[in-house]
Structure 1
Amino acid sequence: MGVLRRTARGLRRLLRPLMAGGVAAFAFPPLHLVFLLPFAFAVLMRGIDRASDWRRAAAQGFAFGFGLHAVGLYWLINAILIRASDFWWFVPFPSLGCAFILAPFAAVPAGVCRLAPAGWRRGVLFAVLWTVCDMGRLFLFSGFTWNPIGSDWAFHGLAGDVMIQPAAWIGVDGLTLLTVLLAVLMPLGRRFIVAGGMVLLVWAGLGAWRFYALAEAAAPTASSPVVVLVQGNVPEQEKITRSDVRAIFERYLRLTREGVAQGLKMAGQPQGAARPVVYVWPETAFPGVLEEDDVARSMIARAAEGATAGVIGTLRVGPDEHWRNSIVALNEAGRVEGVYDKARLVPFGEYQPRFIPLQVVPGGGMTPGPGPLSWHLPDLPPVGPLVCYEVIFSGHVVDRHDRPQWLVNVTNDAWYGNSAGPRQHLAAVRLRAVEEGLPVVRAANTGVSIVYDARGHDMGRLEWGKESVLVRALPSALPPTVFAWWR
């Protein structure tokens, strides 16, 4: 009975940090309730202070990390529900399993910081270790750097524009360090609250200065290309069952025809000086292997008559006969001008880690490509292609030896429904624009399709669940940021 009572007391002690981690997840996009972070981290730090040794402190961190990621990644269940008839038994595992795998990244800073004196020294050490461990998620499987705490500041609108600007100097990991420092130190007393308030004022002031100072430099010019983003809004169930691939293809052709017509009008054709027009289809928008389909490429070229180039998400079979998740660039005649294969594959979605005994990834999974590159397409500024998930990797989205002038991200977030997941993904896209000083255009199957300028400012979007096109002049690139130079 004594063992049972001790076990029950231990579980009760872990319940507080578990709940606090769940509360901290409400600071992630799209809620951005960052004011909850000091309260949540105060519970964790109190548990660490009261722990009798570093092992029990690490257990407090593990519980906090589990709660944080279980709530923050709840939406992963939606991908399994789409195929619930086949994988009903797997429904509890995506969010809870990922939370269990990620929880040690919170346990390590909690356990190690227990060795430092209580108070601000312990808080500083915890924040530094939290950030280092968070960056270490780059090396987990193919990498899983989703939802860094620094992304909490990517509010929609002007407030977010201002608060994410320091990412141009210190990246999202720097924002994470500052945020966790504030969250663990401000509950320590009045002087830390005052100091934290001053840090936030300086943070906002520097962000506002940079945002407004670069407004003109980041704006489109008279010769900027016109970008046409095509959002087909195809339900994932239709894509999986391939119930009517012809209808899907015809939908994209129709939208492309409408969008390119708008783009040509904006570009001044045929009345004025012509500017290039480029259309973009989302990830796997073409329901086949476009590289091998001459007829389909010819039909796309006719629908996009007058456009300079097209960027289309499709599957591809490599020389080794393995599947790739790819983007192809077409010229005005429909010939393939460039191919990019996704380099960072989604764990458990596009490839299966070897320790999983049962086959849960359809078709045996994908093969990754070599990594970031820049396309030099005729009459267009150099562009860096990115497929879906790989845009979340801070510092790993451009070819450092051949810097592009803009980034194009194609994605299909339909797997995750109208949930927090697509909004968290969108926050990552926005932060990459600020970090690299490059505009980013994003075509998403079901939304959100968007154009961000090089400051991460929203230049226009298509919301979730809308079938339409978005036509915008491409914003200008800024000179390489401090982060772009030093990573």
Structure 2
Amino acid sequence: MTPTPNKLSRGQKWRQAGLMLAMGALSALALPPVHLLPVLLVTFPVLGRVLNRAGSWKAAAWAGALFGFGLYAASLYWMVNAVMIRAAEFWWFVPFPSLGCALILAPMVAAPAALCRLVPAGPRRLLAFAAGWTLFDMGRVFLFSGFTWNPLGSGLAIPGAVGDVLIQPAAWIGVDGLTFFVVFGALFCGEALQDAFRARAGHPCHLFPQRADRLRVAACAAVVVSLALTASLIRLKTVHPAGENGPVAVIVQGNVPETEKIGHLNPRDIFQRYLRLTADGVLQARRLVPQPAFADALSRPIVFLWPETSFPGSDLLQDSPRARQIIMEWGAGADAGLIGALRMDDNGRYRNSVLALAPNGDIAGIYDKARLVPFGEYQPPFIPLQIVPQGGMAAGPGPRTWHLPGVPPVGPLVCYEVIFSGLTVDRHDRPRWLANVTNDGWFGNSAGPRQHLSSVRLRAVEEGLPIARAANTGISIAYDGFGHELERLGWGRTGTLVVPLPPALPTPLFARYGRTLPALLCLIAFLAAFARTSRRKPD
């Protein structure tokens, strides 16, 4: 059945606009931390129906833009918290973070909505839209310094064993491939399900009027899901870590309120808190006795991690050799300390960095954050108002691998650099583990830190590498290469995690070819939407 285009009155257009905003906002429930994926079976078919009946590409683009605006405004609500911390100075900016980002991101849904009209209305148009959604979602990496936050595939990263199984296909097709199947499945399965209810109630169906067509959709969905789950379980059972063990990671969570840091309140007390936590954690690591889980822990190097911009006045790490020596003296027995800190480069520009400290306090490595947060650390040049002090920070060159003495090769990542699928590892010099230092304290105890956390987990699966993550106020965590949680320190807690990291997994397919694989998958699906299907004429 091919839907016919609608010509809407002004009142109907307003009602449709409100419906698109509502369906987009409701779709945000599928994202972390709620993971209510079934809601997409309601929301995406409504969008698909509007796209199939749109009278022009402009009407389709407008519907897509409103749906995207609702989705991103609802899922990024927590960005307001960052402004509220400095509300006395930036009170006028309060409405802009979430709504402004949603306005910028909405065209990434409007574009595939308009392009899918190149395909005749019906299932093929929905296929083209699912492929286009994913390709434009991948294109968010090119917006300003990049903002690939909240791909719909991240909704599969459900905490616990269920999520462990659901996210394993990311090892082959990445989170973008997961996004394609989530959107594709939501459109087709949701429409078939809703048509089944309509048929039972005696109402006309929209896309699948024949029971046989609805059964084919259900059968195809069951086959795809069964194959994916089987492949995931086989991977979890048959793929084993190989090579060099990771270090014993001592992850320090100081739990310093952001107001104290930006106000430079009690810097000495905060510094001493980190020193005490480090000493306790390293001592615990050194005292690990041979147990089944930690049988070889004593033969491993010890590395402690402090979060991003750990404490006020962190410039002193760059300027004061004695401060660095004090840190390593309190962490005596550690082979290295990875410290999140601001530093100033030779041109007088600040950089958001990680400093690797040797046991004697010398700087053994410096990594500068390459992907800066738009409007937080980086100000687009077309913004006339001075939002970011001094125009923002300077960016580093990109992924690097550190080869520190006595420590397995490590890939440092600062804050939201970990959200960039396929762009977190130096592919010419692959590390054996990843170290992510971050500060989610800006965003409060909201969905933001949980959404960030799902990205960390998905990168572990895509790269097959264990990850140790130190967050100022939480959530600090360690994952193995399957994305299985090893240890966690929750939001708002002060303490340390001591985690012997396992070896890396054999390099996954996605880690070899990166985003080329999901991009090819979507291009093939988009071209397939143009293929003509022949129907046999009845005898």
Asked if Structure 1 and Structure 2 have the same fold, meaning a TM-score greater than 0.5 normalized by the shorter chain, the answer is yes
Q: Does 1:381 align with 2:426?
A: no
Q: In the TM superposition, what whole-angstrom CA distance separates every residue of 1:41-62 from its partner, at most 9, and x where no partner exists? A: 0110111122211110111101
Match of 2:241 in 1: 217
Query: Residue type of the partner of 2:423?
Result: H
In 2, Cα distance between equivalents of 1:291 and 1:196: 56
Tell me which stretches of 4 or more aligned residues in structure 1 moved more than 3 Å: 5-9, 271-274
Q: Does 1:372 align with 2:399?
A: yes
In 2, Cα distance between equivalents of 1:209 and 1:154: 18
Determine which of 72, 76, 84 is the counterpart of 1:73.
76
CA shift for structure 1 position 206:
1.3
User: Is the 2:41–2:191 contact (alpha carbons within 8 Å) kept by the matching residues of 1?
Assistant: no
Determine which of 457, 476, 498 is the counterpart of 1:449.
476
Determine which of 69, 83, 87 is the counterpart of 2:86.
83
CA shift for structure 1 position 8:
4.1
Determine which of 171, 175, 180 is the counterpart of 2:183.
180
Determine which of 273, 276, 280 is the counterpart of 1:258.
280
CA shift for structure 1 position 224:
4.4
Residue 76 of structure 1 aligns to a residue whose secondary structure is helix
Match of 2:464 in 1: 437
Determine which of 232, 246, 256 is the counterpart of 1:207.
232
Match of 1:45 in 2: 48
CA shift for structure 1 position 301:
1.2
In 2, Cα distance between equivalents of 1:134 and 1:309: 38
Q: Does 1:241 align with 2:266?
A: no
CA shift for structure 1 position 319:
1.4
Match of 1:103 in 2: 106
User: Is the 1:226–1:267 contact (alpha carbons within 8 Å) kept by the matching residues of 2?
Assistant: no
Query: Residue type of the partner of 2:428?
Result: H
**Consecutive unaligned residues in structure 2, runs of 5 or more:** 1-7, 193-213, 515-539
CA shift for structure 1 position 404:
0.4
Match of 2:303 in 1: 278
Determine which of 125, 129, 140 is the counterpart of 1:137.
140
Indicate how the Cα distance of structure 1 residues 336 and 186 shifts in structure 2: closer, same or farther if over 3 A, else same: same
Indicate how the Cα distance of structure 1 residues 272 and 417 shifts in structure 2: closer, same or farther if over 3 A, else same: closer
Q: Aligned Cα RMSD in Å?
A: 1.7
Residue 287 of structure 2 aligns to a residue whose secondary structure is helix
Determine which of 144, 148, 154 is the counterpart of 2:157.
154
Residue 359 of structure 1 aligns to a residue whose secondary structure is coil
In 2, Cα distance between equivalents of 1:272 and 1:312: 23
Residue 468 of structure 2 aligns to a residue whose secondary structure is strand
In 2, Cα distance between equivalents of 1:150 and 1:43: 20
**Consecutive unaligned residues in structure 1, runs of 5 or more:** none
Deviates more, 1:195-204 or 1:160-169: 195-204
Determine which of 421, 441, 445 is the counterpart of 1:414.
441
In 1, Cα distance between equivalents of 2:73 and 2:478: 31
Q: Does 1:320 align with 2:323?
A: no
CA shift for structure 1 position 118:
2.0
CA shift for structure 1 position 362:
2.8
Residue 266 of structure 1 aligns to a residue whose secondary structure is coil
Q: In the TM superposition, what whole-angstrom CA distance separates every residue of 1:251-287 from its partner, at most 9, and x where no partner exists? A: 0000001000001112779x99642111000001143
In 2, Cα distance between equivalents of 1:322 and 1:7: 53
In 2, Cα distance between equivalents of 1:91 and 1:273: 50
Match of 1:481 in 2: 508
CA shift for structure 1 position 188:
3.6
In 2, Cα distance between equivalents of 1:7 and 1:267: 73
Task: Return the index of the structure with the highest Cα Rg.
Answer: 2
Match of 1:296 in 2: 323
Match of 1:126 in 2: 129
Match of 1:226 in 2: 248
Query: Residue type of the partner of 1:266?
Result: L
Match of 2:200 in 1: none
CA shift for structure 1 position 114:
2.2
Q: Does 1:193 align with 2:218?
A: yes
Determine which of 378, 384, 387 is the counterpart of 1:360.
387
CA shift for structure 1 position 295:
1.9
In 2, Cα distance between equivalents of 1:187 and 1:6: 27
Indicate how the Cα distance of structure 1 residues 316 and 468 shifts in structure 2: closer, same or farther if over 3 A, else same: same
Q: In the TM superposition, what whole-angstrom CA distance separates every residue of 1:370-410 from its partner, at most 9, and x where no partner exists? A: 01000000111100000001110001001111110000000
CA shift for structure 1 position 217:
2.2
Match of 2:527 in 1: none
User: Is the 1:162–1:207 contact (alpha carbons within 8 Å) kept by the matching residues of 2?
Assistant: yes
Query: Residue type of the partner of 1:193?
Result: A
User: Is the 1:226–1:266 contact (alpha carbons within 8 Å) kept by the matching residues of 2?
Assistant: no
In 1, Cα distance between equivalents of 2:488 and 2:247: 18
Residue 470 of structure 1 aligns to a residue whose secondary structure is strand
Q: In the TM superposition, what whole-angstrom CA distance separates every residue of 1:120-175 from its partner, at most 9, and x where no partner exists? A: 21111011111110011010000010001111100000010001000000011111
User: Is the 2:246–2:433 contact (alpha carbons within 8 Å) kept by the matching residues of 1?
Assistant: no
User: Is the 1:267–1:277 contact (alpha carbons within 8 Å) kept by the matching residues of 2?
Assistant: no
Residue 135 of structure 2 aligns to a residue whose secondary structure is helix
Residue 381 of structure 2 aligns to a residue whose secondary structure is coil
In 2, Cα distance between equivalents of 1:275 and 1:416: 35
In 2, Cα distance between equivalents of 1:249 and 1:124: 55
Deviates more, 1:353-362 or 1:277-286: 353-362
TM-score when normalising by structure 2: 0.86
Q: In the TM superposition, what whole-angstrom CA distance separates every residue of 1:219-261 from its partner, at most 9, and x where no partner exists? A: x98x642110000000000000001110110000000010000
Residue 337 of structure 1 aligns to a residue whose secondary structure is strand
Residue 305 of structure 1 aligns to a residue whose secondary structure is coil
Q: In the TM superposition, what whole-angstrom CA distance separates every residue of 1:176-216 from its partner, at most 9, and x where no partner exists? A: 111111011113432213321322222122112212223x4
